[in-house]
Amino acid sequence: MLKPLHNRNLKIIMTVIFSVLLFGLYFFLAIHGSGNYRGLYYACVLLCLFWALLLIQPHRKKICLILALACAAGADYFLILRYSVSHHPTDQLWGMVVFCFLQFCLAVYTWFTTQNRKYKIITVSIRAGITLLSIMILPCLQLNLVAVLAVIYFSNLLITVVVLACQIKTQALMLVAMICLLICDFFIGMNNGGSEFFQLQNTTWLTAYDFSFIFYIPSLYLLALASVWTRPVSR
């Protein structure tokens, strides 16, 4: 593991450098199309992870965020670098599996940020209930495993957003990050059968531009920013 950098001025300098690099790539891809430069797209994901690792702090909530970024990098390896080229179902499946682990990391993070023990138990019970029901019921509706995992992932993301919204005074940055991720996943869902499922008309605008990319990279950037700059609060 990389040695953490604790000097505040150095952290500011490194934050500026990584921000300039990341958003330089971001705007280049936004203008020229992220689908045309998959390697640069993935480089943005890795940059967020590397930045968080370089400025890592030994605190359990920070570790959860870095693990979430690592899961994003792992999932995107299968989805951005492999599935987008090969369209092999196995790559898509593994990508969704790793993304579900990302939600698990965020669930653990919200466990640590929630002060009330009763709310902790309620939240975990809802997450576990939705996950179990999805595993038991959705296959009976002839949904494939990727679709089941997508439902589990998205429902847990919604719960995370609600929990962070209830903690907005201390978790505003994370809330914005998760809302960006939620919007990103909405566009991905619409482009992967959602528009047909809801029988939406005139949906050419959904595929006219990669809207998911526009919201995905900022969500990872804010997640990394939270891991670097948010002060750990003692319980």
Cα–Cα distances in angstroms (integers) from residue 231 to residues 61, 200, 227, in the given order: 10, 44, 9
Say what the pLDDT of residue 98 is.
97
Residue 109 has, within 13 A of its CA and on its CB side, a CA count of 31
pTM, to two decimals = 0.89
Distance CA 68, CA 224 (A): 10
Say what the pLDDT of residue 235 is.
47
- Residue by residue, pLDDT tens for the chain (235 residues) are 445 555 778 888 889 999 999 999 999 999 988 878 899 999 999 999 999 998 887 789 999 999 999 999 999 999 999 988 888 889 999 999 999 999 999 999 999 999 999 999 999 999 999 999 988 887 777 778 888 999 999 999 999 999 999 999 999 999 999 999 999 998 888 777 655 555 566 666 555 567 889 999 999 999 999 998 876 654 4
Residue 182 CA from chain centroid, whole number: 8
Q: Is the dihedral of CA 54, 218, 184, 208 positive or negative?
A: negative
Of 213, 97, 82, residue with least CA distance to 152:
97
